[in-house]
């Protein structure tokens, strides 16, 4: 047995705890998770049935953690997990799963399949069976300040551009302000308009904020790759910057897994509670709306729909907030089928979008989103995750769909009434 296989199997063994054992014993093979998974639904390939993606882990559990399995192993009836198995399952665990959480929601016996796939990724990454793009992104992120490499100069340039555009100052490393804002690399590079939108909204609402020069990257490739160690290092950068600056909160940007990593997994990764709150930008905007601090002027009259990012709605609980904001600024808002907690994934999350060899499968999975959109025929699609934004835009180009895509913060800011009160 190679050292990397041994490392991988040990990592998998470490993941096998009571919930995992109860998962494997309680599955009633109903097939509901298959129907919930966009990869299975669009291909009908049985390899993409969620529960099947866990097969090496199930086999390891059976062989080493059950009496019948141990006897079976002695008699040569239950074969061991090999490096070739992990190699084969790499494409199932990384290419055909966005960690969207839809299978978990439908399982009648409450099995958290998504969590199990995360656990599988721990073993796969320890055994070296991880897509090369995710390994590269993880190395860049640990060695510099972002998964795209050193993004500090690009961020400073975007901030400078935003200040010139709005006339509103954005300070770095300012202690004692209300919020520290973090951004995903996707926003910094492709959708920097969020900076001007936040600057205008926060100024109007009287919120003070800053960006930490040593903790500005929101994405966490450790969560996607399945390495708690890397995830912890990256979360710690943000937590330590926020605590050093003494802010009352960290604003998580329009990025699904960044929110998941910091808000829900962060305290567990760090082994303690934070002394600041983590708030998603859309939650904060909805609070400002409720407090009367988000005055708007005019509305979008074209037909608009909304895409719920899996990690923010289904796995993050933010469902009504974007809809209240849409009601503020869109007069012809239409929901797609399955909108909300059961929304269909864009197909690019969980590292799938970064994984070159998964491109064909990702575009096949997108057909479900395409069907959702074609049914309501919108002029514009709003979302609250820059990576969904990017994935959807790219796939729509492939399928020649003419729908404009915009981030929710930017959409709301388009209609912000910037005039001083009484003007």
User: Quick check: 401 binds ligand SF4 (CB under 6 A)?
Assistant: no
CB 36 within 8 A of CB 50: yes
Residues from 295 through 324 that contact ligand SF4 (CB under 6 A): none
Kindly give the interhelix angle for 3-15 and 55-65, rounded to the nearest 10 degrees: 80
CA dist., res. 125 & res. 132, Å (int) = 11
122 by DSSP, 3-state: which?
helix
CB of 153 to ligand SF4, least distance (A): 36
Nearer to ligand SF4, 346 or 412 (CB): 346
Instruction: Using the rule CB under 6 A, give the single segment among 2-10, 36-44, 331-339, 372-380 that binds ligand SF4.
Output: 36-44
Q: How many residues bind ligand SF4 (CB under 6 A)?
A: 27
User: Quick check: 92 binds ligand SF4 (CB under 6 A)?
Assistant: no
Q: Tell me which residue of 423, 421, 168, 196 sits closest to 295, measured CA to CA.
A: 421
DSSP result, 49-87: -GGGGGHHHHHHHHHHHSHHHHHHHHTT-SPPP-HHHHH
CB of 385 to ligand SF4, least distance (A): 15
User: Quick check: 103 binds ligand SF4 (CB under 6 A)?
Assistant: yes
CA dist., res. 104 & res. 257, Å (int) = 17
User: Binding residue for ligand SF4 (CB under 6 A) from 114, 186, 188, 343?
Assistant: 114
CA dist., res. 362 & res. 392, Å (int) = 11
149 by DSSP, 3-state: which?
coil
130 by DSSP, 3-state: which?
coil
User: Binding residue for ligand SF4 (CB under 6 A) from 55, 61, 63, 98?
Assistant: 98
User: Binding residue for ligand SF4 (CB under 6 A) from 19, 27, 228, 379?
Assistant: 27
Burial state string for 189-210 with b = 16 or more CB within 10 A and e = fewer than 16: bebbbbbbbbbbbbbbbebebb
CB of 196 to ligand SF4, least distance (A): 34
CA dist., res. 294 & res. 165, Å (int) = 20
Residues from 46 through 75 that contact ligand SF4 (CB under 6 A): 50-51, 53
CB 218 within 8 A of CB 242: no
User: Binding residue for ligand SF4 (CB under 6 A) from 15, 81, 90, 101?
Assistant: 101
- The phi and psi torsions of 159 (rounded to 5 degrees) equal -65, -45
CB 282 within 8 A of CB 409: yes
User: Quick check: 30 binds ligand SF4 (CB under 6 A)?
Assistant: yes
Give 160: exposed, middle or buried? Use CB within 10 Å, 0-12, 13-18, 19+. Answer: exposed
User: Quick check: 32 binds ligand SF4 (CB under 6 A)?
Assistant: yes
User: Quick check: 294 binds ligand SF4 (CB under 6 A)?
Assistant: no
CB of 125 to ligand SF4, least distance (A): 17
Instruction: Using the rule CB under 6 A, give the single segment among 73-81, 103-111, 206-214, 316-324 that binds ligand SF4.
Output: 103-111
User: Quick check: 111 binds ligand SF4 (CB under 6 A)?
Assistant: yes
CB of 90 to ligand SF4, least distance (A): 15
User: Quick check: 113 binds ligand SF4 (CB under 6 A)?
Assistant: yes
- Binding pattern for the stretch 348-377 against ligand SF4, x by CB under 6 A and - elsewhere: ------------------------------
382: left (phi over 0), alpha (psi -120 to 50) or beta: beta
Instruction: Using the rule CB under 6 A, give the single segment among 102-110, 224-232, 326-334, 405-413 that binds ligand SF4.
Output: 102-110
Burial state string for 368-383 with b = 16 or more CB within 10 A and e = fewer than 16: bbbebbeeeebebbbb
CB of 131 to ligand SF4, least distance (A): 15
CA dist., res. 226 & res. 222, Å (int) = 6
CB of 107 to ligand SF4, least distance (A): 3
User: Binding residue for ligand SF4 (CB under 6 A) from 21, 31, 357, 397?
Assistant: 31
User: Binding residue for ligand SF4 (CB under 6 A) from 21, 71, 109, 290?
Assistant: 109
User: Binding residue for ligand SF4 (CB under 6 A) from 20, 57, 93, 107?
Assistant: 107
Nearer to ligand SF4, 100 or 318 (CB): 100
User: Quick check: 378 binds ligand SF4 (CB under 6 A)?
Assistant: no
Instruction: Using the rule CB under 6 A, give the single segment among 22-30, 188-196, 293-301, 378-386 that binds ligand SF4.
Output: 22-30
User: Could you identify the residue written with the tokens 């990576």?
Assistant: 387
Q: Which residues bind ligand SF4 (CB under 6 A)?
A: 27-33, 36-37, 39, 50-51, 53, 97-103, 107-109, 111, 113-114, 117
């Amino acid at each position: 047995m190679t050292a990397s296989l041994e490392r991988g199997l040990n990592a998998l063994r470490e993941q096998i705890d009571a919930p995992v054992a109860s998962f494997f014993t309680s599955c009633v093979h109903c097939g509901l998770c298959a129907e919930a998974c966009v990869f299975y639904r669009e291909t009908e390939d049985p390899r993409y049935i969620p529960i099947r993606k866990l097969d090496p882990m199930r086999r390891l559990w059976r062989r080493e953690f059950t009496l019948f399995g141990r006897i079976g192993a002695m008699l040569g009836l239950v074969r061991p997990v090999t490096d070739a198995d992990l190699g084969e399952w790499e494409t199932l665990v990384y290419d055909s799963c966005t960690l969207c959480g839809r299978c978990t929601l439908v399982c009648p016996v409450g099995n958290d399949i998504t969590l199990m796939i995360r656990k599988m990724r721990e073993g796969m990454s320890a055994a070296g069976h991880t897509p090369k793009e995710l390994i590269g992104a993880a190395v860049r992120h640990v060695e510099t300040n972002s998964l795209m490499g050193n993004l500090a100069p690009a961020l400073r340039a975007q901030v400078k551009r935003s200040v010139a555009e709005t006339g509103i100052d954005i300070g770095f490393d300012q202690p004692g302000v209300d919020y520290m804002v973090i951004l995903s690399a996707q926003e910094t590079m492709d959708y920097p308009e969020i900076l001007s939108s936040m600057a205008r909204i926060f100024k109007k609402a009287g919120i003070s904020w800053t960006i930490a020069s040593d903790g500005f990257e929101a994405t966490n490739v450790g969560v996607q790759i399945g390495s708690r160690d890397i995830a912890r290092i990256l979360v710690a950068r943000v937590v330590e910057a926020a605590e050093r600056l003494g802010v009352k909160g960290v604003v998580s940007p329009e990025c699904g897994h960044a929110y998941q990593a910091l808000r829900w997994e962060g305290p567990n990764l760090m082994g303690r509670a934070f002394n600041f709150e983590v708030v998603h930008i859309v939650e904060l905007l909805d609070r400002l709306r409720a407090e009367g601090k988000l005055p708007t002027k005019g509305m979008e009259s074209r037909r608009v729909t909304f895409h719920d990012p899996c990690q923010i709605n289904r796995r993050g609980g933010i469902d009504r907030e974007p809809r209240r904001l849409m009601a503020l600024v869109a007069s012809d808002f239409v929901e797609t089928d399955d909108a909300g907690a059961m929304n269909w994934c864009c197909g690019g999350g969980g590292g799938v979008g970064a994984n070159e060899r998964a491109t064909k499968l990702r575009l096949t999975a997108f057909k479900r989103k395409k069907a959702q959109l074609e049914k309501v025929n919108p002029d514009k699609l709003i979302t609250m995750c820059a990576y969904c934004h990017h994935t959807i835009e790219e796939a729509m180009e492939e399928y020649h769909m003419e729908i404009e895509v915009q981030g929710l913060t930017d959409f709301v800011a388009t209609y912000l009434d910037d005039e001083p009160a009484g003007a």
